[in-house]
Amino acid sequence: MERCYVARRQVVGWGGLPSGAVPPIDAEPPANSDASPSRAAAPSKDAGSATGVTRGGDTKEPRSVSDPREPGATTQDTGIGAESGAGARAGDAAGARGKSGPSWGLTRGFLVTNLVLQVVIAVTGSVVRVTGSGLGCPTWPNCFPGSLVPIEHPELAWFHQWIEFGNRLLSGVVGLVALLCFVLVWLHRPRRQRLTRLAAATLLVTISQGVIGGITVLAGLVWWTVAGHFLVSMVLVWLAVLLVRAQFESDDAVRPLVPAALRQLLVVSTVVLGGVLVVGTMVTGAGPHAGDAETARLNVSVSGLAQAHADLLFLYLGLLIAFGFALRAVGAPRGVWRAYAWLIVTVLAQGSIGMVQYLTGVPEALVSLHVLGAALVTLAMGNVWAATGDRGVAAGRPELVAEDARRG
């Protein structure tokens, strides 16, 4: 037993003695020693605070130089051994291997592109209508029987053919982008359920929109098919907004950022907006821009429909104003306020365009601009809807936490 004791002191060293010197067995350890070579030197003038002893002799709770709870503490500072550090690094590597798939930058680029294209295709559809090119390709999916592309035709000008065919080509691009969005989202691991469902819904509705477009052509541009074609585009814009936002969100249940009464007011406002869009398509159905000179129009007074359209718009704007006062009363977060401000600006601009359009006899350029406004109002409304709820930051996207905190 005595030999073991001596051997240990030979290896470790004892106070100020060299590591090879052996003190007597009955020697007491020096006062400044803690039996560790790294602590053998005399303590500094601040050693009292580090060991829990003050200069007055009072004691306090010992504090390590680097508390593991303090920022910046490392395995060396906290006394965690090299084996623990290696284990942590191995765990990090395993976690990295568990997260795979395309880069989020690439995915984000396609999701934003999908949103832009869903707006653009609605506008180009209006161009087809106001130029009278809706039947420039009289069949579907071919442009002419036996020909996928436009051909020389004595009764159809090349101008009308290529406007309609160009819109069909753009529809194919929109479908391809929607497909790529779904594939990219599907390949991410771990898979995000809500994001995947939204991408799948966007793809399916985009495909159905192509079929509806074909039915519209085969039905001779009857007004209710054109109206349905436009309304489905607005649904796709809404889905595209949610899809862009969902890439940053977790699959957790939504946590409302405003009281339930305000969420209900938002639901009512959304329903009224739907009414504005539906009546707007009826105004178009009864108006001069049918998409083709021989297409039958909706046999209802245009002025009466336009008045109903305006009344619903004023009702919608009134609900939004009430919603804004309620946001102020409850102290809504800045993110909700930003989304709301963009919505108000967009609605006011859209209302102004509609009024000028009506007073100037519905010129073609303003019709397309009004369709753009409708798409942007839908986009802004979907953004407000999403901004009033919080699902938390998605796992694997820690870089977004700081940005979210900065934006408030």
Does residue 49 form part of some domain? no
- pLDDT the model gives residue 393: 83
Residue range 328-338, pLDDT digits in tens: 999 999 999 99
Closest CA to 285 of 230, 368, 227, 229: 227
Residues 16 and 117 placed together within one structural domain of the fold: no
Q: Which residue has the higher pLDDT, 241 or 408?
A: 241
Task: Please tell me which residue, 113 or 39, carries the higher pLDDT value.
Answer: 113
**Average pLDDT, integer, range 184-191:** 91
Which pTM value belongs to this model? 0.73
* 23, 149: one domain: no
Same domain, 139 and 6: no
* Structural domains of the chain, count: 2
* 32 and 161 housed in the same domain: no
pLDDT at 392: 84
Residue range(s) defining the domain that contains residue 362: 103-390+399-407
Please write the tens of the pLDDT for every residue from 48-58.
Answer: 444 444 444 44
CB-count burial class (<10 Å; 0-12, 13-18, 19+) for 370: buried
Asked if the structure places residue 94 within a domain, the reply is no
125 and 10 belong to one structural domain: no
Q: Are residues 262 and 131 in the same domain?
A: yes
| 59 band by pLDDT with thresholds 50, 70 and 90 | very low
Q: What is the pLDDT of residues 199-252, one digit of tens each?
A: 999 999 999 999 999 999 999 899 999 999 999 999 999 999 999 999 998 888
Residues 219 and 133 in one domain: yes
* Residue 182 in domain: yes
Q: What is the pLDDT of residues 112-142, one digit of tens each?
A: 999 999 999 999 999 999 998 888 999 999 9
92 part of a folded domain: no
Amino acid at 65: V
- Do the Cβ atoms of 305 and 286 come closer than 8 Å? yes
Asked if residue 290 and residue 195 are part of one domain, the reply reads yes
Task: Note the pLDDT of residue 358.
Answer: 86
**Is residue 321 in some structural domain?**
yes
Domain identity same for 338 and 255: yes
pLDDT score recorded for residue 22: 45
Instruction: Using the predicted structure, report yes or no on whether residue 321 has a pLDDT greater than 80.
Output: yes
Q: Give the sign of the dihedral formed by CA 326, CA 328, CA 332, CA 336.
A: positive
Q: Is the pLDDT of residue 66 over 50?
A: no
Q: Do the beta carbons of residue 139 and residue 217 sit within 8 Å? A: yes
Q: Taking the CB of residue 132, how many other CB atoms lie within 10 A of it?
A: 20
- Does some domain include residue 214? yes
Q: Which among 390, 392, 371, 380 is positioned nearest to 126, based on CA atoms?
A: 371
Tell whether 113 and 21 lie within a shared domain: no
Share of the chain above pLDDT 90, in %: 55
Do 290 and 187 fall into the same domain?
yes
Mean pLDDT (the chain) is 79
User: Which residues are 389's β-sheet partners?
Assistant: 256
pLDDT confidence of residue 397: 53
Structure tokens at 143: 């442009």
Residues 204 and 343 both lie in one domain: yes
Q: Output 176 or 51, whichever has higher pLDDT.
A: 176
Q: Is residue 228 in some structural domain?
A: yes
Within a domain: 133: yes
When pLDDT is averaged across residues 333-354 and rounded to a whole number, the result is 95
- pLDDT given for residue 351 in this prediction: 93
pLDDT for res 24: 47
Q: How confident is the model at residue 298 (pLDDT cuts 50, 70, 90)?
A: confident
